[in-house]
Amino acid sequence: MAWSGGGGVFGGAPGGAGFAGGPRSAANPGGGLPFAGIPPELQAGVDKLLTSEPDHGEPRARFSYRASAREGRRLTLRWLLFEHWHLGALAVLLVTVVSVANQAGPRLIDAGINHGMGRHKDFGAIVAAAVAYLIAIVVTAGAQHLQVRVTGRLAAWVMNDLRVKVFTHLQRLGLDFYTDEKAGVIMTRMTSDIENLQQLLQDGLAQFTVQGLTMLVIAGLLFSMNVRLALITVVLIMPALTALSLWFRAASERGYDRVRDGIANVLADLAESLHGVRIVAAHNRQRHNVVHHRNVVGEYRDANMYTAQINAVYGPGTQMLGYLGSGAILAIGGNMVLHHTLSPGDLVAFFLYLNRFLMPIQLLVQQYNTYQQGQASIIKLRTLFEVAPSVPEDPDAEELPPIHGEIVFEDVTFGYDPTNPVIRHADLRISAGETVAFVGPTGAGKSTLAKLVTRFYDPGQGRVLIDGHDLRHVTVGSLRRQLGVVPQEPFLFAGTIRDNIAFADPEATDDQVWEAIRAVGLVDVVERMPAGLDTIVHERGQSLSSGERQLIALARAFMARPRVLVLDEATSNLDLLSETKIEAALDVLLEARTAVLIAHRLTTAMKADRIVVVDEGQVVEIGTHDELVARGGRYAAMYATWMSHSDADPERAH
Amino acid sequence: MRLGRGHAAVEELPGSPFVPMAVDPRYSAPRATIDPDRDKSWLRRALPIVLSHRRTFATALILSFTGLVLQVQIPKLLGDAVSELGRAGALDHYVRLVLVLAVAAGLTGYVSRLCLMRTAYSIEFDLRNIIYEHLTRMSFPFYDRVQSGQLISRANSDIRSVQMYLTFAPSILVQCAIAVVAFGYMLSISVPPAFVAMATMPFVYVLGVRMRRLMFPVSWLIQSRLADVATIVDENINGVRVVKSFAGEPRQLRLLARAADRLQWAYVKDADIRARFTPVVQNLSQLGLALVLLVGGYLVVHGHLRVGDILTFSFYIVMLQAPFQMLGMLIMMGQRAAASAGRIYEILDEAPTIVDRPGAIDLVECAGDVRFDSVDFSYLEGGPLVLEGFELHLRPGETVAMVGRTGVGKSTVARLLSRFYDVNSGAVRIDGHDVRQLTLASLRSKIGIVLDEPFLFSVSIRDNIAYGRPDADFADIAAAAEAAGADEFIRQLPAGYDTVVGERGYTLSGGQRQRIAIARTLLVNPPILVLDDATSAIDVQVEQQIHGALRVLMRGRTTLIIAHRLSTISLADRVVLMDQGRIVADGTHNELMATNPLYVEVLAQAADTDVDAAPEPVTRPRGWEDGPTGSPPFGVEGV
C-alpha cells in the first residue's frame, strides 16, 4: 500500500551515516489518495518528457470470451517471470557481478596498505591497488546500470502482462460477479494488488539477491582474512542487528497499520464534513465537528508518534551497534595486530567491511515486507482467477446468424440465489418485430426476465431461445452484437460524446454518429456543445441533464442497430421537453425491431403491441391494453388506480 | 476579498446555547496559526506555527548537532588507534572512548529524532486542524466553487509537503553543517587527501539534484497513468452492463491494454533515468575511497601520513555522502513545499462571506412567521437571477406546499431561509427580523430542513438521527424515528440503531435514507420545518404511514413543503405555484386545479411517474435488480 511509503523520509536511510542507499524512485506523490492531477509546477517537466514518447501502436491483446489453456494456468510469481526468462537470467548474471565487484574496494585498500605502506614502502603496489579499485568501480557501475535497465524492463513487461491478464479475466466474468463483489474490491485487484508487485519486481527481487550475495561475499572475504576476527564479528553483531531489525519490522508493521487507519479516519471525516456541509450548517454542528476532528487528527498524531518512537530507536540503535562493533573489532583486532596475527591493512578492511555488512541485514529485513505484500497480492489475484465466469461460452458455441428477433421463454426458472427463484416456470413467446411491455410491481421479476434475454444470466431450468437458438449454444459476442440495451440509469463513459454513442461500433464514421444523434433528436444539444462530438462528458455525465443522458443512451442503442432492443424505462423526473423528445426517439428506435420494454409508466406500456403482466416471477396476464382492461384482472386494476390517481385530488385521497 | 477575522491567533468557534456540543475535547487546539499577512513569504507566514513548538524543535536541532559532533569523533579515534597501535595502553584508551561515544551518540540520536518527529507531527496536527476549522467557517458560495475531492486530496498531500519541509529542512542543514566539522578534522590531519575526499561531494549533490529533477516528472507521469488505468477499470465496473450489453469487452480490453502500454513506457523511462544516475551516485563515494587510497598512500610512503588516517578518511567519505544527497533533496522539497503552501494559503486566505453581523441578535422565541420581501437572488454575482421579486408569506403554524417545474428555484427558497446564501436585494424575515440581523446559530436552530438528497454520515443510525442534538436520549431518538416511519426497518437491521451507515457503512435505499433524514430533523423539534422533496424516494405506501405522524408534528409549526407528489401536497393548507423566479399562483389545490393550466401540467407530469409505486430498491447492495422482497402490491394511493 502506498501509504507505508509515507514513513520513508522519517525512517529512510536507517543506518544513517555509512550507508549509501540509493534514493528511492517512487516519490509517492499521491499518498494513497485518488490522483488529483499533476501539480502545475511539475507540468512543464512532464510535457518535456512526453515529447520523447513514441507511438505505441495497437496493443497486442485480443479478447476472447473463452480462456485459452495458457491463460488458465495457476498464477505464480515464477510463472509470470518465466515468460521473460531471458531477461530474468540476464538480471541474475548482472546482480552477481554487482555483488562481487562492489566488495572489491576494502580488500584492495587492505592490499594497498599491506603491500605499499608496511615495512617496505612501495608506491607501485598502491597505484596498482588504486587502479584495480577504479576498474572494480567501473565494472560495478556498468553492471548496475544494465541491471537497473533490465530489471526495470522485466518489471514493466510482467506488470503489463498481468494487467491485461487480470482485466481480460474480469471482462469474462458475469454480471453476478459484479453485483456480489464490492466495486472497491474489484478495483483493488486491478490497482493496488498489481502495483504491490511493481516494487517487488522492479527492485525487490534484485535487492534481495544483491543483499544476500553481498553478505555471502563479505562473510567470505572476512573469513579469508582472519577466521577468528570474522567469527567474532559475525557472532557479536549479526544476531544483535538481526534481532533489532526483526523487532523493528514487527513493531513498525503494527505502527503503520495504526497510521493507515488514522489517516483513513482523518480523510473520511474531512470528506464527510465537506460532502455533508449543508447538514453540518443546518444543524449548527461546526463547533462540535471541529472538536471531533481534532480528536481524530489527534489519534492520527498519536499513531504517528508511536512509529516515531520505533524509528527513533531503530535508526540510532543500528548506528550505535555499528560503532560498538567497530569498538569491539578495534579491541580484538588491535590486539591481534599487536601480536602480529593480523596485518594493519586487514584491520582497516575489517572496519570498512563491517560497515558494509550492516546494511544488507537491515535492507533484507525491510525487503521482506515487500516480498510478503507481493505474495499476498499474488494470492488474491490467484483467487480472482479461480472465479469461473457464470455465463461461460460453450466450447462448441456457434456464431448466431443474423436474427429476425423471435424470443421464446420455455418453462424458465431462475434465481440469483438458486434456492430462491425470482422467475418461476415462465413461458412467453415474443414474435419478431413485436414490442412487448413488461409491467408489474417492484421486484416482480420484470428486469430479471429482460436480463435472461441478453444472457446476463443463464436460466436454472428451461431455455431462452432467439430464432430457435438456445442462447447457451451461441457465442456471446455474436448474440450481444445483435441486441441493444438501454438501462434505467444511463451510464456515460468519461470520454467524448462520439465515443459514448459509438460504443457498440468504435469504427463508426462521424456521419453514422450524426445519424444516430438525429434519430433521437439530440442535434441541437450536441451542436450547442463547445466541441461538438468531441465534447468530453464529465464523470458520471454531470455536464448533461438526465434527459440528455438518456437520449445519448438511446443514440448508443440506435447505433448498434440491434434486432432486439431491451429497454428499462427511466423512473426519474424529467422535464416535459425531454420527456417528449425521449418518446419521439423511442418511436424511431422501436420501429421494425423486437423490443422488450420494462415499463414503469402505464402510458409507456399502453404503446406496446402487447403487455405482459409479471408478478412473483410469473407471467400472469398477456394481451393488448384493451384486451387486458376488458379482462378485468391485475392490469385492469392497475389501470383503474392510475386513472383515478391522475385526476385525483388531495381532498379525495383522505 | 478582505480577510475576515484575522487568523494570527487561534480563535475558537463561538459557543452558544444553540450550538450542540457533545464531544469531549481530548486534544488541545493548535496554539498558533498562519500569519495572515499575505505580503510575507510562505515560510514567514508559517513561522508562528513552527515557533509554537520551539522548545521541542530547538531540543531536536541542538541534540542532533551534538550527536553528529560525537559521531564525527569516532572515525578519527579509530584511525588514530590504528596508527598508534604500538604505544602502550593506547588501544584500551581508544576502545573505551569509542564505546562511550557510541553509546552517547546513540542516546542523543534517539532523543533528537524523537523530538524532531514530535515537532513534525505536531505541525501536521496544527495544519490539519487549522484548515478544517477554517473550512467549517466557510460559506456556501465557497463550496459551490471548489470541488471537495480536490480539496481533500490537496489538503492531504500539500499539508505533508509543507510539514516535511518545515521540519526536515533545518535538520538536514544541521547534518550538512557537520560536513564542515568533518572537513575541518580532515584538514587538520592532512590537506591534500582532505580535498580529495571532499572532491566527489559536490558531484553527489549536483547529480542528486539533476536526477530528482528528471525523476519527479516521471514519477508523476507514472501516477497519472496509474490513475488512467484505474479510471478505465472504475468505469468498466460501473458501466459493466453497458459493456456487456454491447459486447464492448474487446474494446474495453483494447483501451486498457493501450493504457497499460503507456504506463509500461513510463516505468521503463523511470528505470532508464535511474540507470543513468544510480550507479554514478552510488559509486562516487567509492571513487573518493580509491583516490584517497592513491593520494593518501603516496603521503604514507613519504612519511607525511599515518596508515590509520587512511581509515579515518575512508569513514568520513562514507559518512558524508548522505547529507550531501539530502541537501539536493532539500531543494526539491522546498520548491514543492512553496507550491503546496500557496495552495493551502489560498484556502485560508478566503474569508467566509456569510457571518454574524456585528450586533446580531439571537432568535430565542420563534413564532414562525416567515416572509420573503421582494427577494432578488442569483448564485453568481451578476449571474442570472434565480429569484426575482420573490414574495411569499407563511403564517405561523401554516403548512404551505410549493410546486413548480424542475430547476425553477424552489430549493433556493429553502436555502435562503436558512441563510445558506444572502439575498441580492430584498429581505427574508422571520418574525419580522431580517435573517441577516440574527445570529446564524440561533437562526438555523429554529429551522429544520430535510433535503431531497439525504446525506448520512458514516456513524451509527442513532448518531445520525441525533446529529442536531448529540445529547438526545434514546427514547427521543426512537420516537423521532417512529414518527418518520423509520423505526421498524431500523430495528430489523443487523445492529439496529447501532448499525453504521453512510459511505463507509451499510447501504440503505434512498427512501430509507430520507426517512432517517426526516427523523434527524424532527428530533431537533424546530418551529419552522422545510421539506425539500424530502419524501421523493419513499414508497408511496410508506409515505402514507408517515403522513399521519407528520400531520401531528406539523401542528403548531410553520412548514414549507416542496413536492411533486399529490399525496405530499395533500398535507398542505395552501399551495403556491412557482415559475420564473416568483410565485405565480396561490390557493388551495382545488382552486389551482380549476384555474391554472401550468399547475395541472406540472402535477400531471409528476403523477405519471408514480404509477409503478415509486420503486424503492431493497437494502441489499445488489446492483440494479429490484429485490424480490418488500414489494408493495399494486394499488398505490390509499384512495
A287-296, A641-650, B43-52 — which is least confidently predicted? A641-650
A558-562, A647-651, B301-305 — which is least confidently predicted? A647-651
Higher local confidence (pLDDT), B370 or B88: B370
Instruction: Using the predicted structure, report yes or no on whether residue A72 has a pLDDT greater than 90.
Output: no
> Residue A593 corresponds to which amino acid?
R
Instruction: Name the closest residue on chain B to residue A646, using Cα atoms.
Output: B607
> Within this chain, do residues A97 and A203 fall inside the same structural domain, yes or no?
yes
Q: What is the ipTM score, two decimals?
A: 0.82
A7-16, A40-49, A375-384, B39-48 — which is least confidently predicted? A7-16
Residues 234-253 of chain A with CB under 8 A from chain B are: none
The three three-digit cell numbers of residue A39, written as one number: 501539480
- 3 state DSSP class of B331: helix
How far apart, in Å, are the Cα atoms of A118 and each of A222, B300, B314, B399? Answer: 20, 9, 18, 106
Sign of CA dihedral B416, B421, B427, B431: positive
Higher local confidence (pLDDT), A566 or A600: A566
Spatial neighbors of A235 by CB under 8 A, at least 6 apart, are: none
Instruction: Name chain B contacts of A167, Cβ cutoff 8 Å.
Output: 233, 236, 252-253, 256-257
> Among A341, A375, A405, where does a domain finish?
A341
Cβ atoms of A559 and A512 closer than 8 Å: yes
> Within this chain, do residues A258 and A374 fall inside the same structural domain, yes or no?
no
Q: Write down the pLDDT at residue A35.
A: 57
Rounded distance between C-alpha atoms, residue B181 and residue A449, angstroms: 82
* Span B41-95, pLDDT tens digits: 888 999 999 999 999 999 999 998 898 889 888 888 888 888 888 777 888 889 9
> Within this chain, do residues A208 and A231 fall inside the same structural domain, yes or no?
no
Domain residues for the domain of A220 are 70-226+365-389
Cβ atoms of B37 and B45 closer than 8 Å: yes
Domain assignment present for residue A446? The answer is no
Instruction: Name chain A contacts of B268, Cβ cutoff 8 Å.
Output: 152-153, 156
> Within this chain, do residues A332 and A375 fall inside the same structural domain, yes or no?
no
Domain assignment present for residue A472? The answer is no
Q: Write down the pLDDT at residue A4.
A: 30
Please count the CA atoms within 13 angstroms of the CA of B555 that sit on its side-chain side. 6
Q: Could you give the angle at which helices A205-225 and A85-102 cross, rounded to 10 degrees?
A: 30
Sheet of strand B425-430: strand arrangement: B387-394, B370-377, B425-430, B433-434
Q: Write down the pLDDT at residue B63.
A: 93
Instruction: Name chain B contacts of A185, Cβ cutoff 8 Å.
Output: none
Contact A654 B570 (CB under 8 A): yes
What is the DSSP code string of B179-247?
A: HHHHHHHHHHH-HHHHHHHHHTHHHHHHHHHHHHHHHHHHHHHHHHHHHHHHHHHHHHHHTHHHHHHTT
- 3 state DSSP class of A400: coil
The minimum CA-CA distance between A191 and chain B, rounded to whole Å, is 6
Tally the domains of chain A.
2
> Among A341, A376, A399, where does a domain finish?
A341
- What CATH class has B1-16+30-189+329-353? mainly alpha
Q: Once rounded to an integer, what is the mean pLDDT over residues B374-398?
A: 89
Q: Any chain B CB within 8 A of the CB of A337?
A: yes
* Span B508-538, pLDDT tens digits: 777 788 889 889 988 888 899 998 877 776 7
Rounded distance between C-alpha atoms, residue B511 and residue B617, angstroms: 8
3-state secondary structure B132-193: HHHHHHCCHHHHHHCCHHHHHHHHHHHHHHHHHHHHHHHHHHHHHHHHHHHHHHHHHHCHHH
A237-246, A349-358, A542-551, B611-620 — which is least confidently predicted? B611-620
Cβ atoms of B228 and B263 closer than 8 Å: yes
> Residue B371 corresponds to which amino acid?
R
Q: Could you say which of A50, A289, A319 has the minimum Cβ distance to residue B136?
A: A289
Sign of CA dihedral B478, B482, B484, B488: positive
Q: What's A135's domain CATH number?
A: 1.20.1560.10
Cβ atoms of A203 and A151 closer than 8 Å: yes
Q: What is the pTM of this model?
A: 0.75
> Rounded mean pLDDT of chain A?
81
Rounded distance between C-alpha atoms, residue A108 and residue B310, angstroms: 13
Q: Any chain B CB within 8 A of the CB of A643?
A: no
Contact B609 A571 (CB under 8 A): yes
Q: Once rounded to an integer, what is the mean pLDDT over residues B241-255?
A: 85
The minimum CA-CA distance between B26 and chain A, rounded to whole Å, is 6
- 3 state DSSP class of B542: helix
Sign of CA dihedral A25, A27, A31, A37: negative
> Within this chain, do residues A156 and A205 fall inside the same structural domain, yes or no?
yes
Domain assignment present for residue A479? The answer is no
The three three-digit cell numbers of residue A525, written as one number: 444539444
Q: What is the CA radius of gyration of chain A?
A: 35
Residue A273: pLDDT band by 50, 70, 90 thresholds?
A: confident
> Within this chain, do residues A189 and A330 fall inside the same structural domain, yes or no?
no
Rounded distance between C-alpha atoms, residue A293 and residue A287, angstroms: 10
Cβ atoms of B428 and B459 closer than 8 Å: no
DSSP state for residue A117 in the 8-state scheme: B
Higher local confidence (pLDDT), B506 or B350: B350
3-state secondary structure A490-558: CCCCCCEHHHHHHHHCCCCCHHHHHHHHHHHCCHHHHHHCCCHHHCECCHHHCCCCHHHHHHHHHHHHH
Q: Once rounded to an integer, what is the mean pLDDT over residues A506-528?
A: 84
Cβ atoms of A589 and A554 closer than 8 Å: yes
Length of chain A: 654
Domain assignment present for residue A607? The answer is no
Strands A407-414 and B447-450: what pairing?
unpaired
Instruction: Name chain A contacts of B606, Cβ cutoff 8 Å.
Output: 573
Q: Could you say which of A17, A167, A335 has the minimum Cβ distance to residue B319?
A: A17
> Within this chain, do residues A118 and A151 fall inside the same structural domain, yes or no?
yes
The three three-digit cell numbers of residue B566, written as one number: 399529490
Instruction: Name chain B contacts of A536, Cβ cutoff 8 Å.
Output: none
Q: Once rounded to an integer, what is the mean pLDDT over residues B574-597?
A: 88
Instruction: Name chain A contacts of B590, Cβ cutoff 8 Å.
Output: 649, 651
Residue percentage of chain B with pLDDT more than 70: 89
Residue B631: pLDDT band by 50, 70, 90 thresholds?
A: very low
Q: Write down the pLDDT at residue B288.
A: 87
> Rounded mean pLDDT of chain B?
82
Rounded distance between C-alpha atoms, residue A121 and residue A118, angstroms: 6
Instruction: Using the predicted structure, report yes or no on whether residue B257 has a pLDDT greater than 60.
Output: yes
Residue A386: pLDDT band by 50, 70, 90 thresholds?
A: confident
Residue percentage of chain A with pLDDT more than 70: 89
* Span A206-260, pLDDT tens digits: 888 888 888 888 888 888 888 888 888 888 888 888 888 889 888 888 888 888 8
Q: Write down the pLDDT at residue B264.
A: 92
What is the DSSP code string of A413-475?
A: EE-SSTTS-SEEEEEEEE-TT-EEEEE-STTSSHHHHHHHHTTSS--SEEEEEETTEEGGGB-
Backbone angles phi, psi at A74, to 5 degrees: -65, 135
**A113, A172, A321, A582: which to substitute to probe chain B, counting the most B Cβ within 10 Å?**
A113
What H or E segment, with its residue span, contains residue A226?
Answer: none
Instruction: Using the predicted structure, report yes or no on whether residue A36 has a pLDDT greater than 80.
Output: no
A400-409, A634-643, B29-38, B504-513 — which is least confidently predicted? B504-513
Q: Any chain B CB within 8 A of the CB of A538?
A: no
> Within this chain, do residues A306 and A231 fall inside the same structural domain, yes or no?
yes
Q: Write down the pLDDT at residue A150.
A: 93
Q: Which of B582, B451, B463, B456 is nearest to B529 (CA)?
A: B451
Instruction: Using the predicted structure, report yes or no on whether residue A398 has a pLDDT greater than 70.
Output: yes
Cβ atoms of B148 and A342 closer than 8 Å: no
> Burial level of B451, CB count in 10 A (0-12/13-18/19+)?
buried
Domain ranges of chain B: 1-16+30-189+329-353, 191-304, 396-419+442-609
Residue percentage of chain A with pLDDT more than 90: 9
> Within this chain, do residues A267 and A294 fall inside the same structural domain, yes or no?
yes
> Within this chain, do residues A215 and A80 fall inside the same structural domain, yes or no?
yes
Q: What is the residue whose three cell numbers read 486566505?
A: B349
* Span A565-599, pLDDT tens digits: 888 876 555 666 677 777 888 888 888 889 898 88
> Within this chain, do residues A250 and A204 fall inside the same structural domain, yes or no?
no
Contact B274 A422 (CB under 8 A): no
Instruction: Using the predicted structure, report yes or no on whether residue B192 has a pLDDT greater than 50.
Output: yes
Q: Which of A650, A487, A36 is nearest to B638 (CA)?
A: A650
Domain assignment present for residue A556? The answer is no
The minimum CA-CA distance between A531 and chain B, rounded to whole Å, is 22
Backbone angles phi, psi at A618, to 5 degrees: -130, 150
Q: Write down the pLDDT at residue B396.
A: 92
Provide the CATH number for the domain formed by B396-419+442-609 in this structure.
3.40.50.300
* Span B430-473, pLDDT tens digits: 999 999 999 988 998 899 888 777 788 888 999 999 988 888 89
- 3 state DSSP class of B473: coil
How many helices (H) does chain B have, and how many strands (E)?
20, 10
> Within this chain, do residues A124 and A205 fall inside the same structural domain, yes or no?
yes
